[in-house]
Amino acid sequence: MSESKTQYIEKKTALVIGGSIAGMLAARVLSDFFEEVIIIEKDPKNTKGQIRKGIPQGAQGHVLLKSGEEILEEFFPGLTDEMIKEGSVPADFANDLAWYHHGGWKIKYDSGLSIIQQSRPFLEGHIRKRMDRIDNIHTLYNTKVKGLLTDGSRVTGIEAETADEVIELSADLTVETSGASSLAVQWLKKLGFAAPEKTEIKVNLFYANRIYQKLSPIQREWKSLLVYPNPPAQVCGGGISPTVDNQWMVTLLGYGFSSPPADNDAFLEFAKNLEQPHVYEAIKDGEPVTDTEVYRFPALRRFHFEKLKSFPKGLIVMGDAFCRIDPVFAQGMSIAAKEAKALQEMFKAAGALEADPKVYHQKISKIVDIPWFIALTEDFRFSKTKGNKPIGLPLLQWYVKKVVLACSHDSYIYGRFMKVLHLQAHPIYLITPRVLKGIFRFSDRF
């Protein structure tokens, strides 16, 4: 049965480079406007829910923020309930998450802001099953894009390599979503276009992850636990969240580290040295079912395609190929969803025939601005973070920390903070008379 969707079809073929979450959501939108959508995926077809080679961070925890969940539900009605039925774990973000943040535990209350928790392969697999129901979307697996085809001013398709041959595929629109390994800049330079300006913030972040079948037999008053680093003195953190098959995902992280815990003994020792003992106590007598998996994230990176004076028609860049955010803030998948929604809105307004890549890149640059601002405000608290600091950073950090600490006793402020964190509201949402009164009322506690 085909997925139910609204049809606005105008043109013939669209190509999507990369079949991860950003690519699949782009293809879902394009299927309403093009007669045929082809996803070009370098990895083989994943039929067993395993971690794909092209997603090295796939073993790490992945939280879908509320803004992203709502867009997924719009694109694939009923997906949330389907995932919960098959293993996703629902939770109230404030009531079920014990969160230690900048020296204080956030207040727990029934916020009404629900999230679902699962592994990355589980989420991708359920989106892919929905994609398979859409008749005009097809995927070429084991296919690597080698370059772009052009008529001089417009991208007209791609050159790709399969296991057997080099092929050329023509398209009316090509969407680049191949992530951090994107070659879009090199392809553009090869075609004679200028390279975009790049902003990079080096954080040298690592994640170390293990799956546990059981945690220590201790009383827990949480469904999920997060002990965030407390910089500049403490640069390490950790978390525990439920995942599919009644298992637990345990993640440790650190900024500015050259030697993350690479084996099981080091994993426990690292957890023992966090600012709060809760993660260690929860796992010291637990039953791990995997070894330690380490993922490194050297830097946040943003290509400013929106600033280029000349950019070929027929090409759009989105997802991590456009901007790669610090994964600690769990914003990547939701940013991709918001970018897909912006693509849909642009096509509805202008039509796929008239869609201007520069207009789209300007739109998603504004989408990225907020999570980029949030990430930099926090990442520059760590002394080893390197890069250009935003104007007024010390004042921003001072105010944000006041808000964060107020979340330990004021549910109103915490509720507004969650809206910003989940990319449902602009940070200005945290500057109101009621918030100001709340953060200064108990200033002696800070």
Enumerate domains of the chain plus CATH numbers: 11-61+121-197+304-376 (3.50.50.60), 202-298 (3.30.70), 391-445 (no CATH)
pLDDT tens for each residue of the chain, 446 residues long: 445 455 555 568 999 999 999 999 999 999 999 999 999 999 988 766 555 455 555 455 667 899 999 999 999 999 999 999 999 999 999 999 999 999 999 999 999 999 999 988 999 999 999 999 999 999 999 999 999 999 988 999 999 999 899 999 999 999 999 999 999 999 999 999 999 999 999 999 999 999 999 999 999 999 999 999 999 999 999 999 999 889 999 999 999 987 899 888 999 999 999 999 999 999 999 999 999 999 999 999 999 999 999 999 999 999 999 999 999 999 999 999 999 999 999 999 887 667 799 999 999 999 999 999 999 999 999 999 999 999 999 999 999 999 999 999 999 999 999 999 999 999 999 999 999 999 988 655 54
Provide the CB-side half-sphere exposure for 112 (13 A, CA). Answer: 5
pLDDT tens for 349-406 read: 887 667 799 999 999 999 999 999 999 999 999 999 999 999 999 999 999 999 999 9
Alpha helices in 319-429 (DSSP H): 332-350, 357-379, 393-406, 411-421
**DSSP-assigned letter for residue 188:** H
Tell me which residue of 303, 25, 352, 312 sits closest to 149, measured CA to CA: 312
Is 147 within 8 Å of 287 (Cβ atoms)? no
CA 221, 108, 393: angle at the middle one, nearest 5?
120
CA distance 77 to 212: 32
Tell me which residue of 282, 298, 275, 297 sits closest to 229, measured CA to CA: 275
pTM: 0.93
Tell me which residue of 348, 278, 297, 269 sits closest to 99, measured CA to CA: 278
pLDDT tens for 393-429 read: 999 999 999 999 999 999 999 999 999 999 999 999 9
In 41-182, DSSP assigns E strands to 62-63, 89-92, 97-101, 104-105, 114-118, 137-140, 144-150, 155-161, 166-170, 173-176
pLDDT tens for 167-195 read: 999 999 999 999 999 999 999 999 999 99
CA distance 264 to 262: 7
One-letter identity of residue 392: G
Residue 225 is inside which H or E element, if any? strand 224-227
* Residue 131, number of CB atoms within 10 A of its CB: 23
